[in-house]
């Protein structure tokens, strides 16, 4: 059985649903989104910490954030749909002089591009988030317009808007391959495992950390590796922070924010530097390394009970930047992959920009520096603020 569409979007996370909505709203024709799970947002999106921020070290990431954070904060007002958003800031704690110079330079760049970012001393940090251990603190940067939001709410919100705008979302339906013309110069549609196919001149790969397998089916190599990250949520405890500010200890990359009556926290393990799809929770590491670090940053956590924990996958590229846009030599294929741990917050603007590129509109943010071909050309971009 063969169906037809104008655009097939593969993947129903924050990215795929935002792309489907922005395409449908732009009048890009019949849009079909395929999600292999029976619900949306069960990939990295559903395991994410929900943070959004302007504080990146590369200009392109700050430019994407300036648009995307505004879209997250205005989502409910713009679309009349509920979205849990707390813009109570991101606080980067820096305990090393050399690192502090780098953070100050990044903050100056962020301000030059239009973001609000403040530099705080120890007293200001203690006043902002009482209870934080400030020993050895050299300085901190604070983005008052940064914050946390609900990843599942954003994903399902964009799915609702996409459906209302006429897009079709097919759950429990995987794409097993991307078809191309015989000479391999253009895509012609996608194959599903049941044998059915969908003919389409445009295919968007928004399959998260699983994107490389799909890309390989049409001869495209995308350098994305899965790297596990733990998240632990505590129950309520005395001395828990009242603010929902996302605090990051840059020496250890331990982070936390208020979540319900307790906090949500995470930190990379040393072994997370090795790529793997393994997502088993490492209870020994939580006890031996995460909790002591957590208590050294927020001593009140000593009395907190653990409520739940999980492991999700970061979709890492060699330069920690997304891979966005068309692919040279393969007409009709668009990539929205490799967000390297910050794809939830960039989903609104990336959905809009991908729709603009497909429909031939000038993109709201110039993402040409993020095309796949940068790896072959050796034009990598650095990003040091990967949490
Ligand atoms: C622990 C953790 C914390 C994070 N914290 C943050 C944060 O604070 N802020 C932030 O911005 N980002 C954060 N991230 C990163 C963020 O979660 C991801 O960058 C983002 O969710 C990527 O969205 P996506 O839609 O591209 O991918 P996904 O959410 O993974 O969606 C891809 C979808 O594609 C589907 N799929 C795959 N292959 C196929 C196929 N062949 N056919 C059909 N469907 C397919 C999958 O089932 C999945 O639903 C975090 C990630 C983790 C793991």
pLDDT digits 0-9 by tens, 39-81: 999 999 999 999 999 999 999 999 999 999 999 999 999 999 9
- CA 109 from chain center: how many Å? 22
Angle between helices 343-359 and 59-73 (to 10 degrees): 100
137 and 279 part of one domain: yes
The residue nearest atom 22 of ligand 1, judged by CA position, is 343
Answer whether residue 58 is part of any domain: no
The residue nearest atom 45 of ligand 1, judged by CA position, is 11
Answer whether residue 80 is part of any domain: no
Contact status, residue 354 vs residue 334, Cβ threshold 8 Å: yes
Given the CA of residue 17, which atom of ligand 1 is nearest to it? Answer: 25
Query: Which CATH number covers residue 208?
Result: 3.50.50.60
Of 294, 315, 336, the one marking the end of a domain is 315
Answer whether residue 117 is part of any domain: yes
Contact status, residue 160 vs residue 154, Cβ threshold 8 Å: no
Q: Which of 22, 49, 86 to mutate to test the pocket of ligand 1 (most atoms within 8 A of CB)?
A: 49
Q: Which of 48, 171, 212, 387 to mutate to test the pocket of ligand 1 (most atoms within 8 A of CB)?
A: 48
The residue nearest atom 49 of ligand 1, judged by CA position, is 43
**Listed residue (204, 214, 217, 194) closest to 1, CA to CA:** 194
9 and 158 part of one domain: yes
Task: State which H helix or E strand residue 168 sits in.
Answer: strand 168-171
Q: Which residues does ligand 1 sit against, CB inside 6 Å?
A: 10-16, 34-37, 42-45, 47-51, 174-175, 206-210, 214, 229, 231, 266, 312-315, 339, 341-345
- Print the domain residue range for 358: 2-49+151-224+319-377
For 88, half-sphere exposure in the C-beta direction (CA atoms, 13 angstrom radius) is 19
Q: What is the pTM of this model?
A: 0.98
The residue nearest atom 10 of ligand 1, judged by CA position, is 342
- CA separation for the pair 262, 307 (Å, rounded): 9
Model confidence at 385, pLDDT cuts 50, 70, 90, reads confident
State percent of the chain over pLDDT 70. 100
- CA separation for the pair 293, 299 (Å, rounded): 9
For 32-41, what is the mean pLDDT? 98
Task: State which H helix or E strand residue 291 sits in.
Answer: helix 291-297
Average pLDDT, the chain: 97
Q: Tokens for 90, please give them.
A: 């991101």
45 C-alpha to center of ligand 1: Å?
Answer: 4
Given the CA of residue 340, which atom of ligand 1 is nearest to it? Answer: 19
For 276: left if phi > 0, alpha if psi spans -120 to 50, otherwise beta; the answer is: beta
Answer whether residue 240 is part of any domain: yes
Contact status, residue 383 vs residue 56, Cβ threshold 8 Å: yes
**In degrees rounded to 5, what are phi and psi of residue 188?**
-125, -5
The count of structural domains within the chain is 2
Q: What is the pLDDT of residues 288-334, one digit of tens each?
A: 999 999 999 999 999 999 999 999 999 999 999 999 999 999 999 99
Asked whether the CA dihedral 159, 163, 167, 169 is positive or negative, the reply is: positive
125 C-alpha to center of ligand 1: Å?
Answer: 32
pLDDT at 28 over 90: yes
- CA separation for the pair 175, 206 (Å, rounded): 11
The residue nearest atom 27 of ligand 1, judged by CA position, is 208
Q: Tokens for 341, please give them.
A: 């741990």
Q: What is the maximum alpha-carbon separation in the chain?
A: 67
385 C-alpha to center of ligand 1: Å?
Answer: 19
Query: Which CATH number covers residue 93?
Result: 3.30.9.10
**Listed residue (14, 44, 47, 13) closest to 233, CA to CA:** 47
The residue nearest atom 26 of ligand 1, judged by CA position, is 208
């Amino acid at each position: 059985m063969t169906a037809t569409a104008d655009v097939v979007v593969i993947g129903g996370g924050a990215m795929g649903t935002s792309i489907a909505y922005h395409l449908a709203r732009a009048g890009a024709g019949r849009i079909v989104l395929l999600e292999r799970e029976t619900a949306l947002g069960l990939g990295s999106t559903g395991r994410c910490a929900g943070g959004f921020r302007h504080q990146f070290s590369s200009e392109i990431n700050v430019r994407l954030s300036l648009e995307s954070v505004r879209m997250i904060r205005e989502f409910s007002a713009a679309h009349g749909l509920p979205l849990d958003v707390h813009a109570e800031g991101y606080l980067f704690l820096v305990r090393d002089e050399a690192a502090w110079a780098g953070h100050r330079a990044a903050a100056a760049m962020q301000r030059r591009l239009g973001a609000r970012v403040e530099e705080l001393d120890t007293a200001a940090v203690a006043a902002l988030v009482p209870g934080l251990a400030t020993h050895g603190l050299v300085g901190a940067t604070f983005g008052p317009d940064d914050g946390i939001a609900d990843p599942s709410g954003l994903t399902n919100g964009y799915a609702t808007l996409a459906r209302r705008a006429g897009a079709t979302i097919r759950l429990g339906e995987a794409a097993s391959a991307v078809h191309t013309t015989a000479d391999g110069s253009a895509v012609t549609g996608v194959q599903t495992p049941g044998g059915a196919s969908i003919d389409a001149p445009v295919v968007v790969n928004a399959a998260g950390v699983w994107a490389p397998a799909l890309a390989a089916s049409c001869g495209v190599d995308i350098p994305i590796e899965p790297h596990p990250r733990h998240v632990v949520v505590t129950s309520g405890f005395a001395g828990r922070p009242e603010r929902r500010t996302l605090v990051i200890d840059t020496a250890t990359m331990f982070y936390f924010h208020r979540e319900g009556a307790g906090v949500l926290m995470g930190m990379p393990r040393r072994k997370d530097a090795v790529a793997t799809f393994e997502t088993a929770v490492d209870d020994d590491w939580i006890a031996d390394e995460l909790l002591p670090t957590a208590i050294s940053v927020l001593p009140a956590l000593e009395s907190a009970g653990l409520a739940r924990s999980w492991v999700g996958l970061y979709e890492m590229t060699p330069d920690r930047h997304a891979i966005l846009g068309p692919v040279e030599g393969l007409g009709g294929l668009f990539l929205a992959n490799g967000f390297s741990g910050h794809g939830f917050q960039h989903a609104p603007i990336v959905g809009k920009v991908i729709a603009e590129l497909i429909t031939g509109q000038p993109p709201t943010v110039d993402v040409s520096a993020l095309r796949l071909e940068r790896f072959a050309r050796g034009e990598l971009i650095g990003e040091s603020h990967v949490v």
